[in-house]
Amino acid sequence: MIDYEYIKPRNLEEVFSYLASFGKRAVLIAGGTDVMVNIRNKKLAPEALISLRGLRELAYIRKDEGAYHIGALTTHRMLKASSLVQEELSALYEGASQLGSVQIRNVATLGGNICNAAPSADTAAPLLVLDAVAVLRGPEGIRKVPLTEFFIGPSQTVRAWNEVLIEFEIPAEIGRFGSAYHKLSRRKAMDLPILGVAVSLSMRGEIIREARIALSVAAPTPIRARQAEGYLKGKPVQEEVFAEAGELAAQEASPRDSLRGQAWYRREMIETFVPRMFKKALDRVKNR
């Protein structure tokens, strides 16, 4: 029988207090769309579920002078409904819009997608190309971790058991970049990606000022393709340049064979979709 205590704290202080008393025998739950599946599959057997759903103040999308701030409890539905996200953080809009189904997006949160740390998480590659920083709060205070350092293995992150993810910060200058995300999957809805490709870039005239590439389901964790990014910096916008970046990114990836797709196929799709996403992102660059 599945048996656990369900606790619904009213504020963060209460969350920390329950975490302190249950220790690692408790699991935090937000939308529950990963946690409940894991409990049913017997991958998790917590003594207590500490719900974050009472913390509605952690569901927001804001922009100030220095950064975009997206609360950890923000649902994918909220991201999809936000014109700010659609216009200025397009890759994240595309990731959130294609995650699960309407019903899943209504309850599932951005924080849950990232803390669950699946190599296939649809918002991971978008947040990586947007230079997102995870803001964690624990009993000792706040610490900020660039998303590039957040994932340490499949389902593993640097978050300590007594820390809560509060929000994501994205530098305001990223709003001037163009960005795009492609989810390669067999079906249009309710399917995890065979591969996820996100890119972002900023331009100086016809020269690429900066470029980012992130891949999911291409390694044990979502990754940035640093060599391909370095190659693109200072290059002119040409088809051959984006094609070369795609080849470099495919070499940097370490995909595996799985039921959803073979490693060789994933590499070929990286070569295909990196240039395609750059063309899309290029149209979205502001202030060229």
Return the range that interacts with ligand FAD (CB under 6 A); candidates 79-87, 116-124, 255-263, 272-280.
116-124
Tell me the number of residues near ligand FAD by CB under 6 A. Answer: 30
Q: Convert residues 90-109 into a mask of x (bound to ligand FAD by CB under 6 A) and - (unbound).
A: ---------xx---x---xx
In the chain, DSSP finds a helix count (H) and a strand count (E) of 11, 14
Return the range that interacts with ligand FAD (CB under 6 A); candidates 80-88, 111-119, 225-233, 238-246.
111-119
Q: Provide, rounded to whole angstroms, the least separation between the CB of residue 260 and ligand FAD.
A: 12
Told to check if 134 binds ligand FAD by CB under 6 A, we report no
Told to check if 34 binds ligand FAD by CB under 6 A, we report yes
- In the window 162-221, what residues touch ligand FAD (CB under 6 A)? 164-165, 190, 192
Q: Provide, rounded to whole angstroms, the least separation between the CB of residue 81 and ligand FAD.
A: 16
Q: Provide, rounded to whole angstroms, the least separation between the CB of residue 166 and ligand FAD.
A: 7
CB-closest chain residue to ligand FAD: 112
- Nearest 5°: CA angle at 262, between 257 and 268? 130
Inter-axis angle of helices 239-252 and 263-282, nearest 10: 140
As a whole number of angstroms, the distance between CA 37 and CA 123 comes to 19
Closer to ligand FAD by Cβ: residue 111 or 275: 111
- The upper half-sphere exposure of residue 285, i.e. CA atoms within 13 Å in the direction of its Cβ, equals 21
Q: Provide, rounded to whole angstroms, the least separation between the CB of residue 222 and ligand FAD.
A: 10
Strand partners for 142:
137
Closer to ligand FAD by Cβ: residue 190 or 207: 190
Q: Provide, rounded to whole angstroms, the least separation between the CB of residue 22 and ligand FAD.
A: 13
Whether the CB-CB separation of 75 and 105 falls below 8 Å is answered with yes
Closest CA to 31 of 150, 97, 111: 111
Q: Provide, rounded to whole angstroms, the least separation between the CB of residue 240 and ligand FAD.
A: 33
Cβ-Cβ contacts under 8 Å for 99 (sequence gap 6 or more)? 76, 105, 108, 113, 122, 123
Three-state secondary-structure class, residue 33: coil
Residue for token pair 């799985």: 258
Closer to ligand FAD by Cβ: residue 37 or 102: 37
Choose, by CB under 6 A, the member of 16, 22, 33, 249 that binds ligand FAD.
33
Structure tokens at 252: 């940097």
As a whole number of angstroms, the distance between CA 58 and CA 110 comes to 11
Strand partners for 216:
196
Structure tokens at 280: 């899309």
Choose, by CB under 6 A, the member of 15, 39, 48, 52 that binds ligand FAD.
52
Residue for token pair 């939308």: 31
Closer to ligand FAD by Cβ: residue 127 or 201: 127
Q: Provide, rounded to whole angstroms, the least separation between the CB of residue 84 and ligand FAD.
A: 20
Whether the CB-CB separation of 165 and 143 falls below 8 Å is answered with no
Choose, by CB under 6 A, the member of 26, 121, 203, 217 that binds ligand FAD.
121
As a whole number of angstroms, the distance between CA 246 and CA 37 comes to 35
Binding site for ligand FAD (CB under 6 A): 27-35, 37, 52, 72, 99-100, 104, 108-109, 111-113, 115-116, 120-122, 159, 164-165, 190, 192
